Amino acid sequence: MMEAVTLAQVAREAGVSPSTVSRILNGTANVTPEKRARVESVITRLNYRPNPQAQALAGGRSLTIGVITPTLNSTFYGEALAGIEAALNDTPYHPIVISGQWRTEREQEALDLLLARRVDAVIMMGGILDDEILTHVSRRVPLIAVGRDVRGLDHSCIVLDNIKAMQQVARHLLGLGHRQFAYISGAERQQDAMERRHAFLNCLGAHGVTVAPELIQLGQYTEEGGLRAAEAILDTGLPFTALVCANDQMALGARLALYRRGVNVPGDVSLTGFDDVFTSSLMTPPLTTVRQAIYDIGLMAAREALNLLDGQPVVRQVFEPELIIRESTAPPAAPRRAGRAKRGVTAMSTPDG
């Protein structure tokens, strides 16, 4: 295998300095046409190919884009990261992904590490860091915020219309005849979790329906969190005919809790999620949920980061939700109390498998 031709070799053959070759390559050289032609002729004859990494470093770029997600163990964020990676495939940039682990201090550490690595831009997937911190970072490197609005960075935000999404869920269930609800919320300080909870409860309130505080539980956007939250709801003994979860992962955990208590879905309780991750259609029964274009959101985030790096203007992007109605929702049966049965003991009916 032939060794790659170096910049120094080109300079030696052309009788100029390496810095002159470099400036001719990047278009900043102030040289005579004859000297430029001589250097370009040597470049062609030696088949010299500039090293993009070296060029980037010389220009003060690392060719990396930092991505901070609340967790790596997530179907949702995995799909979004796939979109980011796809958008960067045909560019010299590569993502560096770090998890904030749903903790402010870990998010700050991740951000500090990425800045120390001199990433060229940052994509913040959700997160709970204060707006002021992200605004300050945006003065150092281009920053795109996904799933949240950041004061002072409206143009760099990519969000879903959570209000419209939860109105769709509420109206669907109300239209089926449900009037007794339980709700499992996402991470407490996550902006989209707060928006979804408020939008859902407000829509119910507009129809004269309230939800007992004991039937509203935090699930932290994880399967385990959904399982525990659903168990806490069932342990209250309060009646409900519909259980609404702020994401599909929590709905999966809640489905297990309902199964263990012998609660039939949708015969006894209708169940909904949010996101429409690929496993949602494979649940038993398939899950009614809100679809957001997760992969496309990742694509958009990376493309907007590239636009900022190229000095192009960006604008706030709002993705529209779509309610996907599947077999996990149905008109309510006569309400019965959830009971305080232990795991594996029938509380409401026989397990539906």
Between vectors from CA 174 to CA 186 and to CA 195, what angle results, nearest 5°?
25
How far, in Å, CA of 209 to CA of 216, rounded? Answer: 14
Banded model confidence at residue 74, pLDDT cuts 50, 70, 90: confident
pLDDT at 351: 38
Distances (CA, A) of 93 to 56, 66, 114, 145, 303: 10, 10, 14, 18, 11
pLDDT of residue 336 exceeding 60, the answer is no
For the ranges 21-25, 188-192, 199-203, 339-343, the lowest mean pLDDT is seen at 339-343
Residue 69 CA: distances (Å) to CA of 148, 214, 289, 293, 346: 13, 30, 22, 17, 39
CB 215 within 8 A of CB 183: yes
- What is the percent of the chain with per-residue pLDDT over 90, rounded to a whole number? 71
Q: What is the mean pLDDT of residues 64-74?
A: 92
Return the SS3 of 288. Answer: strand
Confidence of residue 59 (pLDDT cuts 50, 70, 90): low
pLDDT at 309 over 50: yes
- 145, 160 contact by CB (below 8 A): no
Mean pLDDT, residues 285-310 taken together: 96
At 24, the pLDDT band (50, 70, 90 cuts) reads: confident
DSSP state of 269: -
Is a pLDDT exceeding 90 seen at residue 30?
A: no
| pLDDT for position 245 | 98
Residues 320-346 have a mean pLDDT of: 70
- Expressed in angstroms, the distance from the first to the final Cα of the chain is 61
pLDDT tens for each residue of 35-54: 889 988 988 888 887 765 55
Provide the 8-state DSSP code for 290: E
Residues 107-128 have pLDDT tens digits of 999 999 999 989 999 999 999 9
The vertex-65 CA angle with 61 and 66, nearest 5°, equals: 125
167 compared with 59, residue with greater pLDDT:
167
* pLDDT recorded at residue 138: 94
More confident residue, 81 or 33: 81
**φ and ψ of 9, to 5 deg:** -65, -45
Q: 18-32, 111-125, 201-215: which range is least confident on average?
A: 18-32
- Write down the pLDDT at residue 251: 98
Residues 6+ apart with CB under 8 A from 70: 77, 99, 100, 101, 102, 125, 126, 127, 187, 190, 221
Q: For the chain, give the mean pLDDT.
A: 89
Q: How many CB atoms neighbour CB 11 within 10 A?
A: 18
C-alpha 339/C-alpha 351 separation (Å) is 15
Cα 80 to chain centroid, rounded: 5
Lowest mean pLDDT among 16-30, 314-328, 339-353: 339-353
Residues 197-223 have a mean pLDDT of 97
CB atoms within 10 A of CB 43: 20
Q: Alpha-carbon distance 81 to 302, whole Å?
A: 9
**What is the Cα–Cα distance from 117 to 150, expressed in whole angstroms?**
24
Q: Does residue 339 register a pLDDT over 60? A: no
DSSP secondary structure, 74-138, as one string: -HHHHHHHHHHHHHHTTSS-EEEEEE-TT-HHHHHHHHHHHHHTT-SEEEEES--S-HHHHHHHH
- Determine contact, residues 261/341, Cβ cutoff 8 Å: yes
Write the pLDDT tens digit of every residue in 243-274: 999 999 999 999 999 999 999 999 999 999 99
* Encoded tokens for 55: 């060029």
How far is residue 229's CA from residue 11's CA, in Å, rounded to a whole number?
68
Q: What is the pLDDT of residue 82?
A: 96
